[in-house]
Amino acid sequence: MKLILVCSGNTCRSPMAEAIFKRKFHDKAEIISRGLYVPENIHASFNSEKAMDEIGLDIKNHISRQLTIPEAEEADLILTMTKTHKAMILSACPGLKDKVFTLCEYAGIDGDVPDPYGGDIEEYRRCARKIESAAEAIEL
């Protein structure tokens, strides 16, 4: 199975989600993260790295990447951080409607994963906890 986790810039939420999902599903899926408006070749944000360090995950080598249509078409499942991300993907590729969900929707949790960008470390911790809760509710 190929799973893609998607956020805006691929420097905060989706890299954290990638690390969390790889820890849980390393033996069940190929897991990558991508962004929709990506400053290419940027490392994960400092606070994302710190929040992951605190739970024993290392994303220091993460490099941001843009989601491409061929990657999206090749994926078995695409989980976005917000309803807006999902809508943008489906607007570009309506044929993917059966495999694009928000992370929270797929996990049966209300809401979206809020963007911690520019916030303090506590916002990143809250974001990581929401992603972890969703991952715990999912079985691949």
- Residue 82 tokens, joined: 């917000």
Helix H or strand E segment including 102:
strand 100-102
CA distance 85 to 62: 21
98: CB partners within 8 A, 6+ apart: none
Beta bridge partners of 129: none
Catalytic annotation, residues: 7, 13, 115
CA distance 61 to 140: 26
